[in-house]
Amino acid sequence: MSNNFMVFSGTASRYLAEKICAELKCPLGNMVMTKFADGEFEVSYEESIRGRDLFLVQSTFPNSDNLMELLLMIDAAKRASARSICAVVPYFGWARQDRKSKPRVSIGAKLVADLLSVAGIDRLMTMDLHADQEQGFFNVPVDHLYASTVMLPYIQSLNLPNLCIATPDVGGSKRAASYAKYLGCPMVLCNKSRKKANEVDSMQIIGEVEGMDVILVDDIVDTAGTITKAADLIMAGGANSVRAIASHCIMSGPADQRVDDSALVEMVFTDSIPYHGNSKKVKQISVSGMLAETIRRVMDNESISSQYLI
């Protein structure tokens, strides 16, 4: 692998960048962020990056400082004559705003894609976008990775006797179907309706769960209202056990309490977002190895899709 690359990290994702660098056996680049009294900040690379291929690791979860910090990192790198800039964004924030769901609303995912492009990225590396078509919002190559690469081996390690995959809403049926097909097990759907954002009005199970060990599959868990309601409904339907896996651990507001009070045996996430809660049911699996291997393949001009399980 070429030694002409460097890895730098934003403040919010330093924990993950350090793991990635450990996998790549390279040092984490030295960068300083200076904050001013009014809340403004600036970033500064403390070593030469001229002619280097840069990988900037930063998830853009709330608050918006994380996105702004990434934009400043990209701008500073471009002005310091980096040869190429790849934004490594394990969790791409604002991805749920991928279309006009009603009149007179923004499409936040497209706006953020434009901001990153104008700032100067040459490539984006991300994981489990809320909608696959958001890759088309960018005019640069997008390496769209999947948490299934680490989640499927974990599911197999559980050795559940009557495995069944479920999705907490119809929108995730494609993802759940891929898991079920790979694992050779049945799948059920939970159909929900909402009166407003982050609040489930009603839910029904489509399929048979009696006597099954069910695993709910999702991409994002925010307030955990949907996934815990689905878990309780599945257990009420006669399931032996119910677990949940999701790519991105937002876990805001009452999420911890809802997970603890629910029928879930465990709630498993990747570490695309740091978890600062206190639920004993929450577990995180690192995607640092997958991201490091993707960086290596990009530098060596090798196939990235060949590392996907599904």
Angle at 35 between CA 29 and CA 41, to 5 degrees: 80
Q: List CB contacts of 195: < 8 A, sequence separation 6 or more.
A: 201
Q: What is the mean pLDDT of residues 22-32?
A: 97
Q: Which of 221, 242, 247, 246 is nearest to 232 (CA)?
A: 242
pLDDT for residue 62: 86
CB-based contact 281:266 (threshold 8 Å):
yes
Question: Is a pLDDT exceeding 90 seen at residue 56?
Answer: yes
Q: Which of 85, 111, 124, 68 is nearest to 5 (CA)?
A: 85
pLDDT for residue 169: 86
Measured between alpha carbons, how far is residue 219 from residues 2, 95, 173 in Å?
A: 34, 11, 11
Is residue 94 very low, low, confident or very high in pLDDT (cuts 50, 70, 90)? very high
Question: Is a pLDDT exceeding 90 seen at residue 55?
Answer: yes
For residue 223, the one-letter residue type is T
CB-based contact 135:156 (threshold 8 Å):
no
Core vs surface per residue 195-234: b (16+ CB within 10 A) or e: eeeeebeebebeeebeebbbbbbbbbbbbbbbbbbbbbbb
C-alpha to C-alpha distance for 286 and 251, rounded to whole angstroms: 17
Predicted structure pTM score:
0.93
Among all residues, which ones are annotated catalytic?
192
pLDDT for residue 197: 61
pLDDT for residue 170: 83
Angle at 147 between CA 215 and CA 143, to 5 degrees: 155
- DSSP strand pairing (187-196 vs 31-35): unpaired
Is residue 201 very low, low, confident or very high in pLDDT (cuts 50, 70, 90)? low
* pLDDT tens digits, 38-52: 989 999 999 999 999
* pLDDT tens digits, 124-138: 999 999 988 999 999
Question: Is a pLDDT exceeding 60 seen at residue 200?
Answer: no
Cis previous bond, 198, omega within 30: no
Is residue 193 very low, low, confident or very high in pLDDT (cuts 50, 70, 90)? low
Higher pLDDT, 262 or 131: 262
